[in-house]
Amino acid sequence: MIELTDIDHVGIAVSDLDEAIATYERLLGVAPTHRERVEDQGVEEVLFAVGSSSIQLLGALGPETPVGRSLEKRGPGVHHVAYRVDDVAAALEHLRTEGARLVDDSPRSGSRNTLIAFVHPVAMEGVLVELVQER
Amino acid sequence: MIELTDIDHVGIAVSDLDEAIATYERLLGVAPTHRERVEDQGVEEVLFAVGSSSIQLLGALGPETPVGRSLEKRGPGVHHVAYRVDDVAAALEHLRTEGARLVDDSPRSGSRNTLIAFVHPVAMEGVLVELVQER
């Protein structure tokens, strides 16, 4: 089993990051808790805390990035759902055993000094899933 | 402000509910915590607990339902994101004041004896948002 301990965040692809931040700030009445440019994922992310989870707004660093291509194809909206796990490597091993299609064969560094891996949407009912391990 | 206290659930539209349940049970290694037919929304929902939130698998009760049309148009995947609030009516009032486009003008009954309202995707960066108040 994967043992998901929480929803870490819901990742939302947005066309204009600053405009999206302004919208969420205005509607939620709170400021973002984190902003980070993640070069190897081709995104800039901004987090709004919601309980023990976060809303993650994702701006693409260019059109030829995963989020850039998603925006081109589907427009803004939910890009992925991230679940927190205690051990990403063990979770990947379990998924591999179950024959689930993976995007990442092994854990890699994510934002906020986390360890992450993505699972292919075909494995989980059309949802791109990210597994997040805090360290 | 809306004051979101937690992510209540991520709603995932699936083509075959029983098959999706089997997939999630197998990968997550846990059984669903709730199953309910919600006639007025045209769905059957199944919840898997994840920390203080849930994954909600949504099967359409027919093609001419919101989830049925979503499946026809976009296939399976994230259908909406639900945030917990203490007072849905107050949240709607705030959103109305901010000019946000709503799906529901006033709170209505949801599954699990909750009070809910949907906010239009154009208001929140392409994400259909559900507000959930426990009672």
ipTM of the complex: 0.96
Give the model confidence (pLDDT) of B67-103 as tens digits.
999 999 999 999 999 999 999 999 999 999 999 999 9
Q: State whether residue A73 sits within 8 Å of chain B by CB.
A: no
Region of residue A132 (left: phi > 0; alpha: psi -120 to 50; beta: else): beta
Structure confidence at residue A42 (pLDDT): 96
Residue B60 pLDDT level (bands cut at 50, 70, 90)? very high
Q: Is the pLDDT of residue A1 over 80?
A: no
Asked if pLDDT for residue B11 goes beyond 90, the answer is yes
Q: What is the pLDDT of residue B129?
A: 98
pLDDT in the model for residue B45: 98
**Burial of A64 from C-beta contacts in 10 A (0-12 / 13-18 / 19+):** exposed
Whether B9 sits among the annotated catalytic residues: the reply is yes
Predicted pLDDT of residue B2: 83
Is position A36 annotated as part of the catalytic site?
no
Q: What pLDDT is attached to residue A132? A: 98
**CB–CB contact B125 A77 (8 Å):** yes
CB atoms within 10 A of CB B32: 18
**Is it the case that residue B1 has pLDDT exceeding 80?**
no
The verdict on whether A44 is a catalytic residue reads no
Residue A82 and residue A92 in contact, taking contact as beta carbons nearer than 8 Å = no
Give the residue-averaged pLDDT of A37-55.
Answer: 96
Which of A7, A17, A58, A67 to substitute to test the interface with B, most B CBs within 10 Å? A7
Q: Which of A44, A56, A79, A133 is catalytic?
A: A56
Respond yes or no: is residue B130 known to be catalytic.
yes
Which structure tokens are listed for A13?
């692809």
| CB-CB neighbors (< 8 A) of A124 in chain B | 23-24, 27
- To the nearest whole Å, the CA of B66 is away from the closest chain A CA by 17
- Inter-chain residue contact B126 with A7, CB threshold 8 Å: no
Contact (CB, 8 A) for B25 and B17: no
Task: Specify whether the CB–CB gap between B94 and B45 falls below 8 A.
Answer: no
- What's the pLDDT score for residue B120? 98
Backbone angles phi, psi at A3, to 5 degrees: 55, 70
pLDDT in tens, A92-111: 999 999 999 999 999 999 99
As a whole number, mean pLDDT of residues A36-53 equals 96
Residue B99 forms contact with A (CB below 8 Å): no
Question: What pLDDT, on the 0 to 100 scale, is given for residue B103?
Answer: 98
Q: Model confidence over B98-132: pLDDT tens digits? A: 999 999 999 999 999 999 999 999 999 999 999 99
The answer to whether residue A79 neighbours chain B at the CB level (below 8 Å) is no
Taking phi first (over 0 means left), then psi (-120 to 50 degrees means alpha), and beta for anything else, what does residue B117 get? Answer: beta
